[in-house]
Amino acid sequence: MSSDSPIGVFDSGVGGLSVLAALQAELPGERFIYFSDAAHAPYGERGDAFVIERTLGIARQLVEEHGIKALVVACNTATAAGIGLLRSVYPELPIVGVEPALKPAAAATRTGHVGVLATRGTLASGKFKALHDSLKSDSVRFSLVPCDGLAGAIERLDEAAIQSLAAQYVGALGRFGHQPDDIDTLVLGCTHYPFIAADLKRLAGAQVRLIETGQPVAQQTRRLLAAKGQLAGDDPTGSLQLLSSGDAASLDAAAARWLHAQAVGIALN
């Protein structure tokens, strides 16, 4: 494995592009391979066994066919279900996952009330429950809303569904503001949701702080690669290859829209 080897990034669909954007900003000289498992998206509404099977299969493909030097699991549901097993299968491979940013939200809130939007699969996972239980206290409480269908609507670029579902789920959280017990901090617990941050901000109010995980994931990836002496350097000469188990053209369009980059999409069987 050399410093020129690529970094693999995968998600059930296009949501992980929000994490990829942070990675490209933090590591502009790196080569990235992004895999969208669009044929099986979204993971958040599937069972753990299915998500683990897909997670292991994609990791195997990226390791064996593309020789990746690190893997970023840019999906909250896949992280919750499968990252422990991934690390046992590939103990020498730096693996970074994502999880809803409850810790920074707990540190940021001034009213003591944090809202969390995430997929049902993430909120039901043992990993999330352990994190949530470790942070609950008399000074901080979390209101959790499972957002069925929202990641899928973002995946399809279905603006009408996005607006309707976003309004429904933000409304379900309750009152936002700076008064005691108002929600003043909102965790975007799915990598798809940063793409509609402007809509969520409009619904929740300009005073509400939105917190997501892209930048911390990128910084942790840099730290792990630096520790292994495998950083490619910061010359802005990196590259991106897009892979999809579904419609490659849709992934290309999403990347062009959200990454402001051009890449070649390759549809895989």
pLDDT digits (tens, 9 = 90+) for 83-134: 999 999 999 999 999 988 999 999 999 999 999 999 898 898 888 999 999 9
- pLDDT score at 261: 43
Predicted TM-score (pTM) of the model is 0.85
pLDDT at 20: 95
pLDDT at residue 112 in the model: 95
Catalytic hit among 14, 27, 162, 190: 190
pLDDT score, position 1:
67
CATH 3.40.50.1860 in the chain is located at 7-98+214-267, 102-211
Report pLDDT for 69.
97
Is 147 an annotated catalytic residue?
Answer: no
Structure tokens at 213: 């995980």
The CATH architecture assigned to 102-211 reads 3-Layer(aba) Sandwich (3.40)
Of 68, 75, 80, 186, the active-site residue reads 75
Domain 7-98+214-267, architecture per CATH: 3-Layer(aba) Sandwich (3.40)
- Show the low-confidence residues of the chain (pLDDT under 70): 1, 260-269
